[in-house]
Amino acid sequence: MPTRLDVFIDRMVSQRACLDYAIAETDALAGPVFELGLGNGRTYHHLRHRVQGRDIFVFERAVGAHPDSVPPADRTILGDVRETLPAAVRRFGPAASLIHADLGGHNPEKNDAFARLVSPLVEPLLAPGGMMVSSDRMYFDALSELALPEGAVPGRCFVYRRT
């Protein structure tokens, strides 16, 4: 049986593999990158250092990240994503080149229920050709699930694209 440490390591390794894959695949797109869930800011820090020439907006209800990983105020969309994602659809339309979601906690059933709830709020934000990386399985109508890149562990990360 995998331990909590095994699961944590698999999640971290998978996030990096999937983010690097999606960043490279969407490199030709100019639209913004959306980070859903800042947390400690590790994945935001990774995006900030790997993504070139695209704005990164962070959605978070309460910023408490490592000081090195706090996004600028004008790129921080504060509040509950159940409210800020619909507002972002009105503000940005289907413009995002890459969306990364890591909104879950320790309860898999709650995470799945929340992923079902936010999927239809995320879907209209993605540009044609844009990709989404998520720590939880999402429930999209028009986005295709892609095979995981090398290094990612099945079930620990999910990758989608609007074709």
Provide the binding-site residues for ligand SAM, judged by CB under 6 A.
37-43, 59-62, 80-82, 102-103
Nearest approach, Cβ of residue 46 and ligand SAM (Å): 8
Q: Which is nearer to ligand SAM, 55 or 80 (CB)?
A: 80
Nearest approach, Cβ of residue 40 and ligand SAM (Å): 4
Helix (H, G, I), strand (E, B), or coil: what is residue 98?
A: strand
CA–centroid distance for 134 within its chain: 5
Q: Which is nearer to ligand SAM, 78 or 142 (CB)?
A: 78
Q: Which is nearer to ligand SAM, 92 or 129 (CB)?
A: 92
Nearest approach, Cβ of residue 41 and ligand SAM (Å): 5
Q: Which is nearer to ligand SAM, 14 or 26 (CB)?
A: 14
Nearest approach, Cβ of residue 133 and ligand SAM (Å): 11
